[in-house]
């Protein structure tokens, strides 16, 4: 019975209204869709960026069970016979791996800079690879690439030639296999930068894979192990050893047994991990960053929530009479409520579905932006496309549905509580929104709660990550509370406007509405306030960040020239300059001083960080570090006294919970080194934190004289550009930056990492402005009778449009005023709580006035323009039309 009543109601009531106002319905679906789309696209992009942290070896070997690697640096090859002997008869494949990164060499005349195509090179024993079970259905081996056309039962002679081909391919010098995804026809050769040298490597063919194997990333290059060892100067060394337990009976038991054996055998020499933990550590590394993006991506939906609430509420008010009649016909409250919720649910599902499509499309752009940031800050990703997983289909629809149900709940209850027609007072004032919407006290309470929450410490994630949950909760309460309070701005602004704008009758009409703002006005203000506040808050964060980074750059980049391998393109690359090349740079006649800098990735208690070394004495004289806690004892500057001292970055302090005076135990190839933290410096280039020691000691610990980069101070009256050109000629594999150019590059990368956050804010503001149009439409519909009367009194269409424009303009202005106040609060929260807790960086507060003024003008201007158009449309509304 109830079911049939509901379906009748939906058909004859809800659907009729939707048909009568197709544009408003479409707009609602559109807003929901946009909110869902933004969330979905960020989610897809995030997932793609994380999944693109490929444990590259997996694409060659199938999943390894265990991985052995040195806590820092490489392992000697002599561990291999030791491992095999220790494993005895256990059926385990041992796969030694060397991994390297390289950038494409510059074509002649090309400008140096970051952002060149980079490759991950994997060196494994390509002959032994075929022994793995995962390779059993690979059709061709690495050394058979030229054989395709020869197979097919020709004469004996051809096949003898074939045997020769195998040996030729096998005995050839360094050569690479490329991914099928790299190009439709693989290039014949690749010119790559390793350290300071450019090497040209012949391409043999495509990496052979089984049909069901995971796709080989486009930037993966495969070499035979000895070749890559030779190219990277790791002869006799290994980056890691992977273990594949033969599948079969008791496999998990044997895996556990192997892990115990390896841990016992290794002692402090190596760390035993699994590809899972490596992937997890990549995930935890970027978790804070990705969570931040996810939260930002929800703003558009949050703003959308206000608007949907508003639209449904408006519909309830307008159809009040009809509902009253239905009630008097005996339709139960429950049924009416259900019909409204069903209507909201249908809108939500439509919006969710459309949002999925839009979100997928948006993800194709977002994925690049997210990928760039991950690349710049964390590790090499190769992500190029994002795809929709089945779970995300459900999530997108669920989000649309959930949002519309949350927003529709109150209007549905309102509809259900409509009294029957007999008792419905004719022309009763529309009771838009609940009483709570007008509660200043509730708003103030929320703001107060936010202040308390902002004082709490962050949530600690595994692997050294931190997530400012309380900080975000504070932001939420401020946005919500601020939204409630912003409604109170309307009468104030209206009263203020009245002082100079009462002569014109339409203005008086507009302001009279605003002096007693309806719930609808309040909601519109709240939505815009939220969007403006977030966007402006973000702008404040970025401006503060930029100011800080600028002053950091000025302080820390003081040399005239910076030299690094042109292969080093991002945070995760491991390209060095040879000791000889560094010496030649230092002894160049134009060079007065040269500071060598070397950095190695290091794991400290399972958390990845960076261990670096430089000539601390020279640095002290030449360019001071930007200090957070300067060292008190000058011993740190003297090589003979600083062997047991270290400086750490601010991010390190946050991540590892250490302070000056604490001792760190650094696992190095030369044994565990205990160092005491002497001071803390600021470093905005590295979120993992870093430890800085004197390079003399680092060199001894790692038995490695290579350097990551060299800073050169030139003699007076030497032109930096001339020296740079000279160095580039001499070392074609080096990237040489002048001071000015490097500063610009650093800032460019910095801005690039914020590109996506900006995009998210712009979308939220856009949604809010559309919402303003929707609000006014709704308001004017409510006032059909009044409008007809005004037209009858002689008001022109333009005058009515003007009145609407003023009304919209004041709403926008009130929202902007509230939004700016909110933005300062959010900016403070982002800088001193959220950012500090997530990344461990202290920033100076800076307000980008220009941007805020532009935002104000844009929002108020668009508000006025949109309202004017809505007003023109509203002026022609017939009083007797339904909607």
Main-chain phi, psi angles of 461, to 5 degrees: -95, 165
**Sole window of 153-161, 529-537, 744-752, 814-822 interacting with another protein (rule: CB under 8 A):** 153-161
Choose among 464, 822, 852: nearest CA to 658: 464
> Least distance in Å: CB of 697 to another protein?
33
Task: Indicate which single residue of 1, 89, 107, 792 sits in contact with another protein (rule: CB under 8 A).
Answer: 89
Residue identified by tokens 């390509």 is 126
Distances (CA, A) of 619 to 137, 342, 523, 589: 57, 69, 57, 21
Task: Indicate which single residue of 55, 58, 166, 644 sits in contact with another protein (rule: CB under 8 A).
Answer: 166
Task: Indicate which single residue of 11, 19, 20, 167 sits in contact with another protein (rule: CB under 8 A).
Answer: 167
Residues 6+ away with beta carbon under 8 Å from 67: 240, 241, 242, 243, 272, 273, 274, 275, 278
Residues from 191 through 250 that contact another protein (CB under 8 A): 245-250
> Least distance in Å: CB of 95 to another protein?
10
Q: Are 314 and 56 contacting, i.e. CB atoms less than 8 angstroms apart?
A: no
Cα dihedral 727, 729, 734, 740 sign: positive
Could you give the 3-state DSSP secondary structure of residue 716?
coil
Per-residue interface string for the shown chain with another protein, residues 690-719, x marking contact by CB under 8 A:
------------------------------
Regarding 170 and contact with another protein (CB under 8 A), the answer is yes
**Sole window of 47-55, 73-81, 730-738, 786-794 interacting with another protein (rule: CB under 8 A):** 73-81
How far does CA 376 lie from the centroid of its chain? 11
> Least distance in Å: CB of 230 to another protein?
14
Regarding 491 and contact with another protein (CB under 8 A), the answer is no
**Sole window of 40-48, 148-156, 317-325, 377-385 interacting with another protein (rule: CB under 8 A):** 148-156
> Least distance in Å: CB of 75 to another protein?
13
Task: Indicate which single residue of 26, 58, 116, 147 sits in contact with another protein (rule: CB under 8 A).
Answer: 147
- Strand-pairing partners, residue 675, are 664
Q: Six-digit token pair at 180?
A: 């099928």
Regarding 865 and contact with another protein (CB under 8 A), the answer is no
> Least distance in Å: CB of 205 to another protein?
14
Task: Indicate which single residue of 1, 107, 171, 499 sits in contact with another protein (rule: CB under 8 A).
Answer: 171
**Biggest alpha carbon–alpha carbon distance for the chain:** 105
Per-residue interface string for the shown chain with another protein, residues 33-72, x marking contact by CB under 8 A:
----------------------------------------
Regarding 499 and contact with another protein (CB under 8 A), the answer is no
Regarding 149 and contact with another protein (CB under 8 A), the answer is no
Dihedral, 833, 836, 837, 840 alpha carbons, nearest 10: -170
Which is closer to another protein, CB of 112 or CB of 130?
A: 130
> Least distance in Å: CB of 199 to another protein?
22
Distances (CA, A) of 419 to 428, 432, 845: 12, 16, 55
Question: Rounded to an integer, what distance in angstroms lies between the CA atom of residue 190 and that of residue 567?
Answer: 14
Angle of helix 320-328 relative to helix 299-318, nearest 10 degrees, comes to 60
- Strand-pairing partners, residue 245, are 92
For 62-90, give one letter per residue: b (16+ CB within 10 A) or e.
bebbbbbbbbbbbbebebeeebeeebeee
Which is closer to another protein, CB of 257 or CB of 876?
A: 257
- Angle 688-691-696 (CA atoms, 0-180°, nearest 5)? 145
Task: Indicate which single residue of 2, 19, 86, 91 sits in contact with another protein (rule: CB under 8 A).
Answer: 91
Which is closer to another protein, CB of 88 or CB of 427?
A: 88
Regarding 131 and contact with another protein (CB under 8 A), the answer is yes
**Sole window of 162-170, 183-191, 544-552, 678-686 interacting with another protein (rule: CB under 8 A):** 162-170
Q: Six-digit token pair at 97?
A: 């791996």
Choose among 839, 840, 865, 860: nearest CA to 288: 839
**Sole window of 21-29, 157-165, 193-201, 258-266 interacting with another protein (rule: CB under 8 A):** 157-165
Choose among 629, 531, 514, 129: nearest CA to 304: 531
Label the pairing between strands 466-467 and 459-460: antiparallel
> Least distance in Å: CB of 149 to another protein?
14
Regarding 155 and contact with another protein (CB under 8 A), the answer is yes
**Sole window of 166-174, 287-295, 486-494, 839-847 interacting with another protein (rule: CB under 8 A):** 166-174
Label the pairing between strands 607-614 and 690-694: parallel
Regarding 94 and contact with another protein (CB under 8 A), the answer is yes
> Least distance in Å: CB of 188 to another protein?
22
Task: Indicate which single residue of 5, 58, 63, 87 sits in contact with another protein (rule: CB under 8 A).
Answer: 87
Which is closer to another protein, CB of 88 or CB of 425?
A: 88
> Least distance in Å: CB of 711 to another protein?
42
DSSP code, position 685 = T
Question: Rounded to an integer, what distance in angstroms lies between the CA atom of residue 163 and that of residue 302?
Answer: 67
Task: Indicate which single residue of 3, 108, 111, 136 sits in contact with another protein (rule: CB under 8 A).
Answer: 136
Question: For binding to another protein (CB under 8 A), which residues are involved?
Answer: 77, 80-81, 84, 87-94, 125, 127-128, 130-131, 133, 136, 140-141, 143-144, 147, 153, 155-156, 159-160, 162-167, 170-171, 245-251, 254
């Amino acid at each position: 019975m109830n079911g049939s009543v509901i379906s009748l109601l939906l058909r004859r009531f809800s659907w009729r209204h939707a048909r009568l106002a197709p544009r408003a319905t479409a707009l609602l679906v559109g807003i929901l869709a946009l909110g869902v789309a933004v969330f979905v696209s960020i989610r897809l992009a995030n997932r793609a960026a994380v999944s693109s942290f490929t444990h590259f070896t997996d694409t060659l070997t199938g999943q390894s069970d265990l991985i052995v690697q040195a806590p820092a640096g490489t392992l000697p090859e002599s561990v291999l016979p030791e491992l095999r002997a220790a494993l005895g008869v256990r059926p385990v494949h041992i796969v030694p791996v060397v991994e390297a990164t390289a950038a494409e060499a510059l074509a002649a005349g090309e400008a140096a800079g970051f952002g060149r195509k980079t490759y991950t090179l994997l060196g494994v024993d390509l002959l032994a690879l075929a022994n793995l079970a995962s390779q059993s259905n690979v059709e061709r081996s690495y050394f058979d690439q030229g054989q395709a056309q020869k197979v097919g039962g020709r004469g004996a002679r051809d096949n003898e030639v074939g045997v020769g081909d195998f040996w030729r391919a096998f005995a050839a010098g360094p050569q690479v296999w490329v991914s099928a995804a790299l190009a439709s026809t693989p290039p014949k050769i690749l010119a790559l930068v390793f350290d300071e040298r450019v090497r040209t490597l012949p391409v043999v063919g495509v990496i052979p894979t089984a049909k069901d194997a995971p796709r080989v990333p486009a930037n993966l290059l495969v070499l035979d192990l000895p070749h890559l060892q030779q190219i990277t100067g790791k002869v006799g060394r290994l980056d890691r050893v992977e273990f594949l337990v033969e599948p079969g009976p008791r496999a998990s038991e044997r895996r556990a047994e192997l892990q115990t054996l390896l841990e016992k055998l290794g002692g402090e020499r190596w760390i035993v991990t699994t590809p899972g933990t490596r992937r997890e550590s990549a995930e935890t590394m970027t978790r804070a960053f990705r969570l931040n993006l996810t939260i930002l991506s929800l703003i558009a939906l949050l703003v959308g929530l206000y608007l949907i609430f508003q639209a449904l509420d408006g519909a309830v008010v307008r159809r009040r009479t009809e509902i009253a009649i239905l009630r008097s016909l005996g339709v139960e409250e429950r049924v009416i409520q259900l019909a409204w919720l069903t209507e909201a649910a249908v809108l939500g599902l439509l919006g969710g579905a459309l949002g999925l499509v839009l979100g997928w499309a948006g993800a194709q752009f977002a994925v690049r932006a997210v990928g760039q940031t991950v690349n710049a800050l964390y590790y090499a990703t190769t992500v190029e496309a994002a795809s929709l997983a089945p779970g995300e289909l459900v999530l997108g629809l669920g989000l649309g549905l959930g949002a519309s149900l949350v927003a529709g709940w109150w209007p549905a209850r309102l509809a259900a509580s409509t009294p029957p027609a007999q008792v419905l007072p004719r022309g009763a004032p529309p009771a838009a929104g609940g009483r709570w919407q007008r509660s200043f006290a509730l708003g103030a309470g929320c703001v107060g709660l936010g202040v308390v929450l902002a004082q709490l410490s962050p949530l600690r994630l595994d692997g050294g990550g931190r997530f400012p949950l309380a900080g975000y909760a504070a932001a939420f309460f401020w946005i919500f509370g601020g939204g409630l309070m912003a409604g109170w701005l309307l009468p104030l602004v209206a009263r203020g406007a009245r002082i100079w704008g009462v002569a014109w009758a339409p203005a008086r009409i507009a302001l009279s509405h605003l002096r007693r703002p309806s719930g609808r006005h309040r909601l519109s203000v709240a939505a815009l306030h939220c969007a403006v506040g977030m966007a402006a808050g973000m702008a404040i964060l970025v401006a503060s960040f930029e100011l800080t980074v600028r002053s950091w750059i000025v302080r820390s980049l003081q040399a005239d020239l910076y030299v690094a391998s042109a292969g080093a393109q991002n945070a995760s690359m491991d390209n060095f300059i040879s000791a000889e090349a560094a010496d030649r740079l230092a002894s160049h006649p134009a060079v007065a001083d040269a500071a060598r800098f070397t950095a190695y990735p290091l794991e400290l208690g399972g958390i990845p960080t960076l261990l670096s070394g430089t000539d601390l004495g020279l640095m002290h004289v030449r360019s001071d570090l930007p200090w957070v806690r300067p060292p008190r004892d000058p011993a740190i500057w003297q090589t003979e006294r600083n062997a047991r001292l270290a400086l750490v970055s601010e991010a390190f302090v946050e991540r590892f919970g250490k302070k000056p005076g604490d001792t760190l135990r650094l696992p190095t190839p030369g044994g565990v080194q205990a160092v005491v933290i002497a001071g803390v410096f600021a470093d905005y280039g590295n979120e993992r934190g870093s430890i800085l020691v004197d390079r003399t000691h680092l060199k001894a610990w790692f038995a490695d004289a290579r350097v990551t980069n060299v800073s050169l101070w030139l003699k007076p009256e030497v032109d930096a550009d001339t020296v740079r050109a000279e160095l580039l000629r001499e070392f074609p594999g080096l990237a040489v930056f002048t001071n000015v150019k490097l500063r610009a590059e650093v800032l460019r990368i910095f801005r690039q990492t914020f590109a996506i956050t900006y995009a998210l804010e712009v979308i939220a503001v856009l949604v809010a402005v559309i919402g303003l149009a929707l609000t006014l439409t709704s308001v004017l519909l409510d006032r059909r009778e009044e409008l007809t009367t005004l037209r009858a009194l002689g008001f022109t269409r333009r005058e009515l449009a003007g009145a609407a424009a003023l009304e919209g303009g004041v709403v926008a202005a009130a929202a902007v005023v509230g939004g700016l106040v909110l933005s300062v609060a959010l900016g403070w929260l982002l800088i001193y709580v959220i950012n500090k807790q997530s990344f461990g960086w202290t920033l100076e507060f800076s307000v980008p006035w220009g941007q805020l003024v532009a935002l104000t003008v844009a929002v108020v201007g668009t508000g006025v323009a949109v309202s004017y158009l809505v007003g023109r449309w509203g002026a022609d509304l017939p009083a007797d039309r339904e909607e």
